[in-house]
């Protein structure tokens, strides 16, 4: 029982450490807004709509992926 | 059937990767260097107990925090691009990248994210020594994170410690330690982080000079300049040492890059180093691609010495590397192209034998990929087999030459600046020399230029290779629509420019406010 109480107290302390820290950041609020917008654009827009895993979205198994890449490696050539 | 890949796609994919990498690199070096400068300042505070040092540390910590927060995760976009635009490459490198980047992820997460919070929020909440330890651990963690991605980049410049598996079309790591401790990796890491230290020193000196010009925060300015100029001088000397070592390594493993960065077309013994030079426009109709110098200042024998520590050594030029030089035991590019084509044909035959269920033939061909003689004489030139014209394998000489020389000339300028600042600080006359303060302020953009020039040399100079001699850009790029790459190029250009403007604006506001504001958190 006392172990659980001790554990909860530590978690509360860590939470308050971060909470007070973020609360007291004056310049930080603007930066946090920028970070959130940036991460949203990166992961919710760019990653989903523009940067799908080329091999992962076309093939299910490693065998299919390696066959495809091998074909690419042995068929390609420069313009000349 | 041989298929050609659209060069527009290759060029846009390269441009997009370059754009995102360069924007990412705008944020990284300041984090690497400023973290150590802050740690030194805080150590002085703990040692002396002088509250001025605490105020100074917290001020620079604020600027560090802005740069760190805005730059965070910009590098992840490069990983998106690997999977989408460079999927053949991503597959081909196999687990070589996986292991270092996984270690980087774990280190960055545990070391940086934990101790960054203590560093920012822990003033007056944790013990002074624990706080100081956290600041040092942030610095060490940030630099260790950089280690892994630089090891991966070094492997692309000098692929070692792996073996190609023709069954999976992937490279498999055979020796982790030779990947980690290859001379290319060691030099790449040390030289790159040292450039970050010099950049941060110039940044601190430049901002402090602005305070002096405004006759504000004189204690902060003088003390910051003292720490930064000493740190900059030591790290600048280290930067030159590692740069010198890197040049020798380039001469050994990437002789074409070495020749291009010096604009050396015809190899020679007692080769002079072009200290300063300007290319003329190519005028010879029979040699339209050869760039001749309009003017140049040379240091006799220096290039031979720089490359091989022997002033009389032969340094191969671009023509020697392209046409071969029997006397100096240099294979021609035509020969390398032929050997590369044999390696590709062996892989093609092996796959066909597997398809035909020809066990005897497939076993014999498979064995070639484990045969050291085949690996040394044919597979090591695999990438050359994608080309027919040796001229396609020459990097952009003026870009390589100018980026190398801009980097070195600016490096000398930084060292002189550190020395002059230090001398004037000791004479206590720096605040009277306003022109020096202006030079210090305007050196801030120059140090970023030098840092970018270093990367331009590293990456332009090794074209067309994504992985040296094994995989060129035309084989590494994904077969996707080039218009999609163009769209994301412009999206990134807008996103990163907005981030950069935001960073500069927020930072400028904090600098104008000075340390009296709630610096540090």
Residue B283 has a pLDDT of 58
d(CA B520, CA B297): 48
Answer whether residue B440 shows pLDDT above 60: yes
Name which of B391, B453, B405, B467 is nearest B261 in CA terms.
B405
* Portion 16-75 of A in contact with B at CB < 8 A: 17-18, 20-22, 24-28, 30-32, 34-35, 38-39, 41-42, 46-47, 50-56, 62, 65-66, 69-75
pLDDT, tens only, B265-316: 999 999 999 999 998 876 555 565 677 888 899 999 999 999 999 999 999 9
Using CB atoms within 10 Å of the CB of residue B7, give its burial: 0 to 12 exposed, 13 to 18 middle, 19+ buried: middle
Q: Touching check for B344 and chain A: CB below 8 Å?
A: yes
- B171 DSSP assignment: E
More confident residue, B189 or B287: B189
pLDDT at B4: 65
pTM of the full structure? 0.91
pLDDT band at B366 (very low <50, low <70, confident <90, very high): very high
pLDDT at B204 over 80: yes
| DSSP alpha helix (H) spans, A1-80 | 2-23, 28-40, 62-75
Determine the pLDDT at residue B518.
46
Which segment of B139-143, B224-228, B289-293, B357-361 scores lowest on mean pLDDT? B289-293
Give mean pLDDT, residues B379-384.
96
Contact B77 A74 (CB under 8 A): no
Q: Is the pLDDT of residue B91 over 80?
A: yes
ω into residue B22 within 30 of 0, thus cis? no
> B121–A17: do the CB atoms touch at under 8 Å?
yes
| pLDDT interval class at B5 (50, 70, 90) | low
Work out the percent of chain B whose per-residue pLDDT is above 90: 73
Q: Name residues whose C-beta falls within 8 Å of residue B5's C-beta, 6 or more positions apart in sequence.
A: A76, B474, B475, B477, B479
pLDDT per residue as tens digits for the range B210-246: 999 999 999 999 999 999 999 999 999 999 999 999 9
The whole-angstrom separation of Cα B197 and Cα B285 is 46
- Burial of residue B76 (CB within 10 Å: 0-12, 13-18, 19+) is middle
Q: What would the mean pLDDT of B237-259 be, rounded to a whole number?
A: 96
Q: Quote the distance between the C-alpha of residue B352 and its chain's center.
A: 40
Report DSSP letters for B377-418, one per residue.
HTGGGGGGGG-S-GGGG---HHHHHHHHHHHHHHHHHHHHHH
How far apart, in whole angstroms, are the C-alpha atoms of residue B521 and residue B514? 14
The overall average pLDDT reported for chain B is: 91
| Radius of gyration, CA atoms only, chain A | 25
Rounded Cα–Cα distance for residues B501 and B287 (Å): 44
- How many residues are there in chain B? 521
Average pLDDT over residues B387-400: 92
The domain segmentation of chain A, as residue ranges, is 2-75
Token pair in block for residue B288: 């339209």
Higher pLDDT among residues A38 and B112, named by residue = A38
Task: Measure the N-to-C terminal CA separation of chain B; round to a whole number of Å.
Answer: 62
Query: B364: Cβ–Cβ under 8 A, 6 or more apart, which residues?
Result: none
Residue B160 pLDDT grade (very low, low, confident, very high; cuts 50, 70, 90): very high
Mean pLDDT, range B58-73, rounded to an integer: 87
Q: How many CA atoms lie within 13 A of B288 on its CB side?
A: 2
- Say if CB B293 and CB B274 are below 8 A apart: yes
Per the DSSP assignment, residues forming a β-bridge with B164 are B171
Is pLDDT at B460 greater than 80 in this prediction? Answer: yes
More confident position, A16 or B408: B408
Whether the predicted pLDDT of B520 surpasses 50 = no
Q: Poorest-confidence range of A74-78, B63-67, B208-212?
A: A74-78
Q: Among all residues of chain A, which has the CA nearest to that of B503?
A: A31
Say if CB A60 and CB A50 are below 8 A apart: no
pLDDT bucket at B123, cuts 50 / 70 / 90? confident
| Interface list for B 498-517 with A (CB within 8 A) | 499, 502, 506, 509-510, 517
H/E segment holding residue B207: helix B183-213
Q: Does B171 touch chain A (CB under 8 A)?
A: no
Question: CB of B484 within 8 A of CB of B6?
Answer: no
- Give the residue with greater pLDDT, A16 vs B113: A16
Q: What is the pLDDT of residues B25-53, one digit of tens each?
A: 999 999 999 999 999 999 999 999 999 99
Q: Which of A21, A27, A41 is opposite residue B495, by nearest beta carbon?
A: A41
A14-50 pLDDT tens trace: 888 877 777 777 667 778 888 888 888 888 888 888 8
Q: What is the pLDDT of residue B521?
A: 43
CB contact (8 A) between residue A74 and residue B347: yes
Q: What is the pLDDT of residue B116?
A: 86
- Dihedral of alpha carbons B129, B103, A43, B150, sign: positive
pLDDT value at position B1? Answer: 45
A58 or A47, which is more confident: A58
């Amino acid at each position: 029982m006392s172990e659980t109480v001790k554990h909860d107290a530590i978690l509360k302390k860590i939470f308050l450490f971060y909470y007070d820290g973020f609360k007291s950041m004056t310049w930080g609020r603007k930066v946090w807004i920028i970070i959130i917008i940036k991460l949203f654009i990166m992961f919710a827009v760019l990653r989903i709509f523009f940067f799908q895993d080329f091999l992962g979205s076309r093939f299910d198994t490693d065998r299919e992926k390696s066959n495809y890449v091998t074909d690419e490696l042995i068929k390609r050539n420069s313009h000349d | 059937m041989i298929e050609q890949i659209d060069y527009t796609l290759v060029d846009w994919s390269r441009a997009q990767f370059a754009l995102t990498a360069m924007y990412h690199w705008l944020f990284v070096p300041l984090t690497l260097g400023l973290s150590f400068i802050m740690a030194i300042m805080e150590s002085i505070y703990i040692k002396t107990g002088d509250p001025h040092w605490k105020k100074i540390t917290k001020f620079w910590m604020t600027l560090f925090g802005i740069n760190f927060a805005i730059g965070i995760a910009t590098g992840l976009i490069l990983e998106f691009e690997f999977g989408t635009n460079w999927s053949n490459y991503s597959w081909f490198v196999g687990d070589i990248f996986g292991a270092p980047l996984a270690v980087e992820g774990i280190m960055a997460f545990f070391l940086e994210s934990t101790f960054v919070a203590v560093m920012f929020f822990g003033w007056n909440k944790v013990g002074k020594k624990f706080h100081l330890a956290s600041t040092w651990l942030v610095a060490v963690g940030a630099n260790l994170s950089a280690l892994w991605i630089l090891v991966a980049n070094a492997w692309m410049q000098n692929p070692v410690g792996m073996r190609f598996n023709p069954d999976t079309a992937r490279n498999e790591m055979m020796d982790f330690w030779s990947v980690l401790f290859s001379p290319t990796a060691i030099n790449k890491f040390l030289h790159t982080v040292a450039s970050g230290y010099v950049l941060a020193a110039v940044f601190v000196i430049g901002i402090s000079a602005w305070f002096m010009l405004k006759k504000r925060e004189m204690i902060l300015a003088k003390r910051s300049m003292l720490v930064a100029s000493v740190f900059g001088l030591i790290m600048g000397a280290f930067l030159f040492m590692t740069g010198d070592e890197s040049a020798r390594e380039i001469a050994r493993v990437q002789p074409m890059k070495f020749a291009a960065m010096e604009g050396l077309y015809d190899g020679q013994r007692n080769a002079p180093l072009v200290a300063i030079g300007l290319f003329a426009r190519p005028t010879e109709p029979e040699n339209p691609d050869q760039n001749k110098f309009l003017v140049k200042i040379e240091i006799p024998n220096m290039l031979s010495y720089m490359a091989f520590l022997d002033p009389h050594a032969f340094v191969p030029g671009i023509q020697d590397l392209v046409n071969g030089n029997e006397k100096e035991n240099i294979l021609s590019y035509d020969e390398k192209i032929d050997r590369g084509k044999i390696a590709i044909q062996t892989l093609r035959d092996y796959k066909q034998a597997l398809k035909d269920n020809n066990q005897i033939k497939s076993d014999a061909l498979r064995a070639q990929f484990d045969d050291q003689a085949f690996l040394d004489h044919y597979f090591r030139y695999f990438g050359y087999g994608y080309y027919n014209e040796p001229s396609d394998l020459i990097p952009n000489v003026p870009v390589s030459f100018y980026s190398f020389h801009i980097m070195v000339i600016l490096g000398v300028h930084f060292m002189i600046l550190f020395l002059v600042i230090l001398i004037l600080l000791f004479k206590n006359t720096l605040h009277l020399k306003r022109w020096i303060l202006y030079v210090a302020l305007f050196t801030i953009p120059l140090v970023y230029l030098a840092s970018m020039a270093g990367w331009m040399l590293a990456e332009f100079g090794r074209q067309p290779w994504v992985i040296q001699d094994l995989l060129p850009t035309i084989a590494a790029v994904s077969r996707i629509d080039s218009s999609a790459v163009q769209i994301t190029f412009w999206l990134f250009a807008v996103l990163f420019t907005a981030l950069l403007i935001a960073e500069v604006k927020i930072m400028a506001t904090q600098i104008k406010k000075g340390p009296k504001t709630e610096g540090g958190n």
